[in-house]
């Protein structure tokens, strides 16, 4: 199986395997181009462990036909004036005068409405209690609020409960944890401590976790002490690991794997990190990543950073994928209930496939990039990694809100729920196999893929074969075909990287870190033996290109990439062949979704004869995230192909 190990490197260099950059395709649709369209804005259903926060429903008439029209990149796009806050009323740090978001009323039974109201009430209570993010070493952890039910808290005390064993942690799901928690047998503190102990004991060889949050146990105890009021939060007590490019306003650092940012602590949570806290998650630690998200050197292997070294695959001597390598490896080894990665092109779904876990790369614009060390202004997004589709969807649901600081998130319409079995779906779901991609598979991977297609059919999903892309052919008027287009693609990403990194570094404390990309390059060169094991020619190419984003080369290159990925790629195939999604293996096809800003879901498909994990990749049009998640969930329930790595079982 061909691994997309250097997807960012290829794009920046103009090599033809890589994709160009884009936000969302110019002709993006809000539904699928087949006879049964997917409802995008529909009230979520469900209560108990799987119930999440609700979102405001916007009328279909007011929605743009192109998500890009609702918001461009943070560099200067415009969007809806509505601020999609996760709770009614202004959120902490929201711009003055921002319009608050509201939850949609459930269309389900009374119990569903009650579940939504409970989650909403708990979220508001969490804000009112002002739960802490960080504690001084000698500071006593805050106890329950004055209105808490003391009897309930005493019955939920750790010393009265079951011990959590290592076996309990294997393949643990959010739903199972919540059942244990709500029955009083486990506490948040117990689970957090159990994961901390497991990481300390088993991560040495894997090398996935860079640092643990020194306040994790205190944060978990703080939740336990407010269990009666906050226990209905959708991620209450769920330990989550974060990629090393996501800011957190605590004692942890965010460095993008670079020694140039060693010791960097953020003053504010990334928007997505703040939403996770509000949903009740415990931010457990930071995990390793490919340095600068694979935009440093062709020679740098995925999963390597100067700060963290090389992350390995828990299944053996196999490719690890990147750049969210630590996120996938840690979840696969059962070090947390989930993790957050980021993707520009393949950086979530590639390591998810390599580590036999679920990875969701959402439509660009569904999750804010505020507080995330950037790579591409138009392609970057965060996304969840978990062991099951439902767990990944629950984590996604907690993060997917609009943010005025990131204009591309201010969509007039967005999915109300991402949870499987919660939205009306077409009577017959259909997926298509692109012939040119299937033919490239090696025999071992092809055998796994063929079995996965049969599993899809057993799950009631129709499989159509023999799909073709006009995008496989050079565009009319392209003098040199793929080589010319690949060069244009490289220009787009190099310039976006230069502009984004310069802006990011300029915001850092003066004199503590490099002030721009040129200073970063010089800093690395001063101690090349530690900082430049694999060189930095991709950084140097970006610096030389200048970051100009208003000339013909950039504008036309970006437009061509969007056109070939959407109108002549994914959207063309969905419409022509009457399917709801395309299916690939590994990270094949992720380059097209990257250009168009379209969603992807990777779910374990099985293993080759040698034991190498293979993922099934689902690709769809803009805002078809709930549909891809539904297909993945149905497939997962029928196939059940994931097995934990033996050496970590």
| Active site positions, annotated | 243, 323, 347
Rounded Cα distance, 250 and 96, in Å: 25
Rounded Cα distance, 70 and 408, in Å: 7
**Angle at 219 (CA atoms; ends 213, 222), nearest 5 degrees:** 170
DSSP 569: I
Q: Whose CA is closest to 15, among 390, 493, 341, 478?
A: 493
Rounded Cα distance, 287 and 285, in Å: 7
Contacts of 192 (CB under 8 A, 6+ apart): 216, 217, 219, 220, 237, 239, 282, 284
Rounded Cα distance, 438 and 584, in Å: 7
| Strand-strand pairing, 600-607 and 358-361 | antiparallel
Only one residue has tokens 């204009």, namely 407
Asked if 294 and 379 touch (Cβ cutoff 8 Å), the reply is: no
Only one residue has tokens 């950037």, namely 374
DSSP for 248-305, please give it: -SSS----TT-GGGTT---SS--HHHHHHHHTT-EEEEEE---GGGG-S-TTSPTTEE
Structure tokens at 358: 């679920």
Dmax (CA) of the chain: 76
Structure tokens at 476: 């009319």
Rounded Cα distance, 120 and 138, in Å: 34
């Amino acid at each position: 199986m061909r691994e997309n190990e250097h997807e960012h490197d290829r794009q920046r260099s103009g090599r033809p395997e890589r994709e160009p950059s884009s936000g969302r395709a110019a002709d993006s649709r809000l539904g699928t181009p087949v006879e049964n369209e997917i409802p995008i804005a529909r009230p979520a259903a469900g209560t108990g462990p799987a119930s999440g926060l609700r979102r405001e429903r916007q009328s279909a008439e007011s929605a743009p036909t192109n998500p890009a029209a609702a918001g461009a990149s943070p560099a200067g796009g415009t969007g809806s004036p509505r601020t999609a806050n996760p709770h009614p009323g202004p959120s902490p740090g929201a711009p003055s005068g921002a319009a608050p978001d509201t939850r949609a009323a459930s269309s389900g039974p009374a119990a569903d409405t009650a579940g939504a109201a409970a989650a909403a009430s708990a979220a508001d209570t969490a804000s009112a209690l002002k739960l802490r993010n960080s504690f001084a070493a000698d500071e006593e952890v805050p106890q329950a609020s004055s209105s808490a039910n003391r009897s309930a808290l005493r019955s939920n005390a750790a010393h009265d409960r079951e011990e959590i064993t290592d076996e309990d942690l294997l393949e643990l799901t959010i739903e199972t944890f919540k059942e244990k928690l709500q029955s009083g047998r486990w506490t948040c503190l117990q689970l957090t401590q159990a994961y901390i102990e497991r990481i300390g004991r088993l991560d040495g060889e894997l090398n996935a976790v860079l640092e643990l949050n020194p306040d994790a146990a205190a944060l978990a105890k703080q939740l336990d002490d407010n269990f009666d009021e906050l226990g209905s939060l959708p991620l209450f007590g769920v330990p989550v690991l974060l990629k090393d490019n996501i800011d957190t306003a605590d004692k942890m650092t965010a460095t993008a794997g670079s020694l140039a940012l060693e010791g960097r602590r953020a003053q504010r949570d990334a928007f997505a990190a703040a939403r996770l806290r509000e949903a009740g998650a415990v931010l457990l630690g930071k995990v390793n990543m490919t340095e600068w998200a694979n935009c440093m050197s062709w020679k740098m292997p995925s999963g390597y950073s100067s700060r963290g070294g090389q992350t390995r695959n828990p299944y053996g001597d196999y490719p690890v994928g990147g750049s969210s390598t630590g996120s996938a490896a840690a979840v696969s080894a059962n070090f947390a209930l989930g993790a957050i990665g980021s993707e520009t092109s393949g950086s979530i779904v590639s390591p998810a496939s390599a580590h036999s876990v679920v990875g969701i790369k959402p439509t660009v614009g569904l999750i804010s990039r505020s507080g995330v060390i950037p790579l591409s202004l138009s392609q970057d997004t965060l996304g969840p990694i978990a062991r099951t589709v439902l767990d990944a969807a629950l984590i996604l649901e907690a993060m997917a809100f609009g943010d005025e600081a990131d204009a591309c998130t201010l969509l007039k319409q967005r999915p109300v729920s991402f949870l499987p079995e919660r939205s009306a779906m077409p009577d017959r779901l259909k997926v298509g196999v692109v012939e040119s991609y299937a033919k490239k598979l090696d025999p071992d991977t092809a055998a796994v893929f063929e079995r996965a297609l049969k599993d899809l059919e057993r799950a009631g999903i129709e499989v159509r074969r023999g799909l073709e892309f006009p995008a496989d052919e050079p565009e009319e008027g392209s003098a040199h075909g793929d080589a010319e287009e690949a060069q244009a693609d490289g220009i787009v990403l190099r310039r976006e990287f230069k502009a984004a990194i310069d802006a990011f570094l300029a915001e850092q404390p003066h004199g503590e870190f490099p002030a721009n990309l040129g200073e970063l390059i010089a800093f690395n060169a001063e101690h090349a033996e530690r900082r430049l094991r694999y060189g930095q020619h991709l950084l140097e190419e970006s610096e030389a290109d200048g970051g100009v984003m208003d000339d013909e080369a950039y504008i036309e290159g970006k437009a061509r990439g969007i056109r070939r990925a959407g109108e002549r790629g994914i959207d063309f195939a969905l419409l022509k062949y009457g399917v709801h999604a395309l299916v690939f293996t590994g990270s094949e096809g992720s380059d097209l979704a990257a250009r168009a800003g379209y969603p992807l879901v990777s779910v374990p498909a099985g293993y080759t004869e040698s034991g190498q994990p293979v993922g099934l990749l689902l690709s769809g049009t803009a805002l078809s995230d709930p549909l891809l998640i539904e297909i993945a969930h149905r497939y997962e329930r029928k196939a059940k192909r994931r097995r934990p790595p033996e050496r970590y079982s």
